[in-house]
Amino acid sequence: MPEQYILKLYVTGTTPNSLRSIANIKAICEAYLEGRYQLEVHDLYQEPELIRRHHLIAAPTLIKEHPLPYRKLIGDMSDTDRVLAGLGL
Amino acid sequence: MQEKDDIQQEITSSMRNYSDIDPAPLEKAPTGIDGFDDITRGGLPRGRPTLVCGSAGCGKTLFGMEFLARGAAEFDEPGVFVAFEETPDELIRNAASVGFDLAALSAQGKLAIEHIYLERSEIEETGEYDLEALFIRLGYAVDQVGAKRIVLDTLEALFAALPNEFILRAELRRLFRWLKQRGLTAVITGERGAGTLTRHGLEEYVSDCVILLDVRMAEQVATRRLRIVKYRGSSHGSNEYPFLIDRGFTVLPITSVGLEHEASDERISTGIAQLDAMLEGKGLYRGSSVLLSGTAGSGKSSIAAHFAQASCARGERCLYFAFEESQQQILRNMRSIGVDLAACLEGGLLAFHNARPTQLGLEMHLALMYKTIRTFRPRMVIVDPISNFMSLGTQIEVRAMFTRLVDYLKTEGITAVFTSLTSGSAIDNLERTETEISSIIDAWLLLRDIETDGERNRAMYILKSRGMAHSNQIREFVLSERGIDLIEVYTGPEGVLTGSARLAREAQTREAQLDRTAQLELTRVRLEHKRHAIEAQVAALHAELAAEAAAFDTALKAEQGRDARFSEDRDRMATQRKKGPFAARQGKGE
C-alpha cells in the first residue's frame, strides 16, 4: 500500500497566483500521486485563523502534512522540479 | 583644546537644534520612553514607520516593546507586536524583567503578540508568490485590538527564510505602503550590517525616521548610545545620547541643558565655620559646583560630610553618591569625627546611593544618578569620588559626562560637591589631574598633605571660587572627634609649617619669648644689684668721710687743747719773766 499524501493548499482569493497554483498542483498530483493523495484548498481570506495556526506568510503555500518531513511549498507551483523535490518525489 | 572645542560645538549644536521652530509640526506619537520624547520633540512620527537599528543585544526589541507597552498603558493606543524571532512567552518574560506586564495588557485587549515562525529548511520556493498571508494576519491582529501602533521585530528574518529577494523586496515596499495606509505608527527593527545601517538595507523603505542604537565596550564596560540618524520634517537632537536599560529604557538628553541656568546669589554654609570665613564669611553660592580634590586620606570625604550635615541642618535634602565606601562605613567614619550622618539619614534628609564605578559604564552611572536625583529631589548632591570615573572612559567622555551632570544640577539649582582623588603630592600634579573638569567647577578646594619631620599633615586652600573674594591663605586642618578645625598655619622664614613642626615652632617662639623676658629680668636684677652696690659704696664712703671728719674733729680738739695749754704755759712763763721788764715787753710784742 503506497503512502497517502495529505496536502493542503492555502491561497488568497482568486489572484492569478492562486489560480495558477491550484492548476499546477492538481496536475502534478495527478501525474505523480494518482490515487494516493488528498488535496484541500483553503482561501485565507475566508479562514484567516489558519494563517496563525500554520505560520503562513506567503501565498500560495502548500503544506505537506503527510508523509513526513513536514514541508511548506510556497509559490504558484510552476517550478515542477522544485515541487517534486519539496514533496519528496 | 580640541576637546573643549568639540564639547562647545556639541553644546551649541544641541542648543540650535532645540531652538529651531518647526514650520509645520509633524504629528508625533509619544513613546513614553524616558528622555526619548525630549530629544525627538514629541516622539515618533505618527502614522509612519520608524527604523530602529543596531547590533545584536543593543536594545532594539526592548525599545519596540516599551513603545507598545507605554502606548497601550499610557496613551490609550493599543498595539501589535510582531515577533519573527522570539516566542510570545520569551517576550513576556523579557518584558517582565524590565517592568512591563505584556500578559496583562494582552488580557485587556490592548496588546497583541503575533509570533511568526519561520523555518528555512521547511520552505521550498516553487514559483511566484506574495506575502498576502502575512498581510492578512497583520490586518487581522490590528483590527482585533484596534491597534494604532505596531512593531515588526525583525523583518530581516524574512530574508533568511525567503531566498527570492526580488519578490521579498517588492513585498516589503508593499508592506510599508500598507502600514502607512492603515495609519499605524510603526517601529521596524533591523540588525546592523557591515557598513550599512541594516544588513538587508531596510533603510531604503523607511524614509521618515531612523534611529541607531549602539552598544560599545570600553574597558570591559558596556556603554549604550542612541542617535537619531534622520527624522524627516522634524528637528531633533543630533548627538549621540547615552541610554540605559534598567526599568525600561532611559535616554539621557542632559547635553541639551546648555548654559541657561539661573545663578543664585544665595549663600549657604559649608558647615565649617572657619571655611565659611575663608569664603567671605558667607560660604558657597547655592547651586554652584564645588570640587574637593586631594591625595588619599587628605580629608575630602570628611569635608563633604560636613557639607551634608550642614545641608540637613538647614532642612534641605542631600543626596550622597558614594562610589568608594559603603553607607555603613561612611556613617561610622564620620561619627568618629563628630559628624552624625545617621541622624540626617533617619530624618529622611540624607540619602545614600552606593555603587562601584567599575560596575557600570559612564552613561549608566550618569543615568542612574540622574534618575535618583529626580526621585529624591535634593538641594545638594555629593559625588564621592568622581576620580574613579576617569578610568571608565576617555578624557572627553568623562568630561562630557561631568558637563552634563553639572549642567543638569545647575539647572535644577542643586549645589554639587565632587571629591576627587589625586595621585602624587607635587602641587603641579594635583592641579593638572583635574584639568578635564576644573573649568566647569565654580569653587575648588585643594587638600594636600604636607610631609615634614616624619609626619603628614593636612592643609587646605581655596584654589578658586568664582564670584567672591575668597581667602588666599593655606589652612591646616585638623580632624578630631569634634569635627574639622581649620588652623592658621605657621608661616615664617622656614616656610609653611604644620602639625608637630608648627607646634614645635610655636613652642620655640614661645621659648624665645620667654628667654628674652628672663634676660630682661636678669638685667633688671643686675642693675638693681649694681644700684645696691653703688649705694653701698656711697654709704661706705660717706662713713669713711664721717670717720675722717670725726678723726679730724678729735685732732682739732686735741690741737686746740694743746694750744690752750701752750698759751697757759707761755703766760706762766711770761709771768715768770715779769720779774724782768724786758722779758715782759718782748712777750707782749708777739
Cα B123 to the center of its chain, rounded Å: 61
Which has more pLDDT, B233 or B222? B233
- Respond yes or no: is residue B434 known to be catalytic: no
Question: Inter-chain contact B133–A44, Cβ cutoff 8 Å?
Answer: yes
Question: CA end-to-end span of chain A, whole Å?
Answer: 16
Interchain proximity B128–A78, CB inside 8 Å: yes
Lowest mean pLDDT among B208-212, B265-269, B491-495, B502-506: B491-495
Using one digit for the tens of pLDDT, what is the confidence trace for B241-282? 778 777 777 776 655 455 566 778 888 888 888 888 888 888
Minimum distance, in Å, between the CA of residue B346 and any CA atom of chain A:
57
Domain ranges of chain B: 22-251, 267-488, 491-590
A70/B124 Cβ within 8 A:
no
Q: Which of A32-41, A60-69, B348-357, B472-481 has the lowest mean pLDDT?
A: B472-481
Query: Sorting pLDDT into bands at 50, 70 and 90, what band is B485?
Result: confident
- Residue burial B556-587, b: 16+ Cβ < 10 Å; e: rest: eeeeeeeeeeeeeeeeeebeeeeeeeeeeeee
What is the pLDDT, as a whole number, of residue B259?
Answer: 55
- Residue B501 C-alpha cell reads as 613642626
Q: What is the ipTM of this complex?
A: 0.93
Cβ-Cβ contacts under 8 Å for B319 (sequence gap 6 or more): B350, B351, B353, B372, B373, B376, B378, B380, B381, B382
Same topology for domains B22-251 and B267-488, yes or no? Answer: yes
Burial readout A6-23 (b: 16 or more C-beta within 10 A, e: otherwise)? ebbbbbbeebebbebbbe
C-alpha distances out from residue B120 to B16, B175, B198, Å: 49, 21, 21
Find the catalytic residue in B86, B204, B280, B324.
Answer: B324
Q: Is the pLDDT of residue B381 over 90?
A: yes
Q: pLDDT band at residue B532, thresholds of 50, 70 and 90?
A: very high
What superfamily in CATH does domain B267-488 come from?
P-loop containing nucleotide triphosphate hydrolases (3.40.50.300)
For the cut 80, the answer to whether the pLDDT of residue B492 exceeds it is no
Cell numbers representing residue B96 in the block: 517582565
Which of B396, B394, B434 lies closest to B418 in space, CA to CA? Answer: B434
Among the partner-chain residues A48, A55, A58, the one whose CB lies closest to the CB of B130 is A58
Return d(Cα B150, Cα B81) in angstroms, integer.
Answer: 6
The three three-digit cell numbers of residue B396, written as one number:
572627553
Does residue A43 carry a pLDDT above 90?
yes
**Residue with the larger pLDDT of the pair B223 and B84:** B84
In Å, what is the CA distance from B57 to each residue of B64, B81, B239, B270?
A: 13, 18, 21, 46
User: Looking at domain B22-251, does it have CATH number 3.30.230.80?
Assistant: no
Q: Cα–Cα distances in Å, from B475 out to A77, B244, B256, B493, B569?
A: 92, 43, 40, 17, 106
CA distances from B330 to A67, B26, B302, B415, B508 (A): 73, 52, 9, 21, 39
Q: Is the per-residue pLDDT at A48 higher than 80?
A: yes
- Rounded distance between C-alpha atoms, residue B60 and residue B47, angstroms: 20
Residues 6+ away with beta carbon under 8 Å from B478:
B458, B484, B485, B486, B487
| pTM of the complete model beyond 0.90 | no
Q: Domains in chain A, ordered, with CATH?
A: 5-87 (3.40.30.10)
Place of cell 527564510: B161
| pLDDT in the model for residue B319 | 93
B116:A86 CB<8 A: no
The rounded percent of chain B whose pLDDT value lies above 90 is 14
**Is the model's pLDDT at B78 over the cut of 90?**
yes
Residue-wise pLDDT for B412-461, tens only, equals 889 999 888 876 555 555 555 555 677 778 888 888 877 777 777 788 88
Distance between CA atoms of A88 and A16, rounded to whole angstroms?
Answer: 26
Q: What confidence tier does B397 reach under pLDDT thresholds 50, 70, 90?
A: confident
User: Which chain A residue has the Cα nearest residue B122?
Assistant: A71
- Tell which residue, B381, B384, B357, has the closest CA to residue B298: B384
Rg of chain A over Cα atoms, rounded to whole angstroms, equals: 12
Summarize the confidence of residues B184-200 as an average pLDDT: 85
Using the predicted structure, report yes or no on whether residue B363 has a pLDDT greater than 80: no
For the ranges B173-187, B267-281, B296-310, the one whose mean pLDDT is highest: B173-187
**Nearest-10 crossing angle of helices B60-74, B88-97:** 80
Mean of pLDDT values over B377-404: 81
Residues across chain B:
590
CB pairs under 8 A between A and B: 102
Position B2 scores a pLDDT of 53
> Please, what is the average pLDDT of chain B?
81
The residue among A28, A61, A74 with the most chain B CBs within 10 A of its CB, best to mutate, is A74
| pLDDT confidence of residue B17 | 46
Residue B130: closest CA among A64, A18, A43, A53: A18
Query: Is residue B219 very low, low, confident or very high in pLDDT (cuts 50, 70, 90)?
Result: low
**Contacts by B22-29 with C-beta closer than 8 Å and gap 24+?**
B22/B233, B22/B234, B22/B235, B24/B233, B25/B234, B26/B233, B26/B234, B28/B234, B29/B71, B29/B75, B29/B77, B29/B148, B29/B149, B29/B185
CA B128-B130-B134 angle, to 5 degrees, is: 150
pLDDT single digits (tens) B12-24: 554 444 444 444 5
**Which residue intervals of B20-99 are DSSP H helices?**
36-39, 60-74, 88-97
The CA distance from B180 to B373, in Å, is: 40
Does residue B324 have an active-site annotation?
Answer: yes
* Cell numbers linked to A63: 503544506
Is the pLDDT at B28 greater than 60? The verdict is yes
> Alpha-carbon torsion B105, B107, B110, B116, what sign?
positive
Chain B nearest-CA distance from A86, in A, is 6
Q: What is the mean pLDDT of residues B342-350?
A: 88
Q: Do A61 and B117 touch (CB under 8 A)?
A: no
Chain A positions with Cβ closer than 8 Å to B = 10, 12, 15, 17, 20-21, 24, 44-45, 48, 51-52, 55-62, 69-79, 82-83, 85-86
User: Which pLDDT score, from 0 to 100, does residue B19 have?
Assistant: 43
> Average pLDDT in the B136-145 region?
91
